[in-house]
Amino acid sequence: MAVQKILRMGDARLLRVAEPIREFNSPVLDRLIQDMFDTMAALDGAGLAAPQIGVNQRLVIFGIESNPRYPDVEPVPTTVLINPEIEILSDEMDEAWEGCLSVPGLRGLVPRYTRLRYRGYDQTGRRFEREVHGFHARVVQHECDHLDGILYPRRIRDLTQFGFEEDLFPEQGAE
Ligand code: NI
């Protein structure tokens, strides 16, 4: 288990545009992906982008079975997504609360597109694509934003809907 330190908002490395991965099936890549899964699991995250652990490459992971941080959301398959491309399928957006391991303790109400198709590669270099909606589409947009140096607070339309989780949702009690 190799849990890595997560960079937090304010660290300039989170603002970079990440570089495409060119070599698949390598021990270095496999180790990076394992470290990312270990880190995400240790922190109960729904997703993690390589730049969040200081690796400036276009690689994200995500997946939710049942997660105490997201008790009401539909499951998302455990996915390794490299060099992603997103095609928005509808202009429709909705708003939901998001958090981020790089913005600990805070939540914001973020608009996202509701339907999209994404394409990319898994860790073996196999190309795949999926058409998704709802929470799955939201997670993909959040994680892929990290690859372009964008943290979710920049997507919030109304900054009154951004704050500390404990204070926004006191009825939920301490986690
Ligand atoms: Ni994030």
**How much of the chain is helix, strand and coil, in % rounded to 5?**
30, 35, 40
| Residue 139 CA, ligand 1 centroid: distance in Å | 9
The catalytic site residues sit at: 143
| Residue 82 CA, ligand 1 centroid: distance in Å | 16
The residue among 122, 118, 125 whose CA lies nearest residue 140 is: 118
Q: How do the pLDDT tens digits run along the chain, 175 residues long?
A: 599 999 999 999 999 999 999 999 999 999 999 999 999 999 989 999 999 999 999 999 999 986 676 677 788 999 999 999 999 999 999 999 999 999 999 999 999 999 999 999 999 999 999 999 999 999 999 999 999 999 999 999 999 999 999 999 998 755 4
Task: Copy the structure tokens of residue 4.
Answer: 């890595």
**Residue 139 burial (10 A CB sphere; 0-12, 13-18, 19+):** buried
| Residue 53 CA, ligand 1 centroid: distance in Å | 11
| Residue 90 CA, ligand 1 centroid: distance in Å | 23
pTM score, whole prediction: 0.94
Count the Cβ atoms, other than its own, within 10 Å of residue 68.
7
Find the Cα–Cα–Cα–Cα dihedral 55, 61, 65, 70, rounded to 10°. 60
Q: Kindly state the helix (H) or strand (E) to which residue 86 belongs, with its residue range.
A: strand 76-88
| Residue 115 CA, ligand 1 centroid: distance in Å | 20
CA 73 vs CA 109, 164, 172: distances in Å: 15, 20, 16
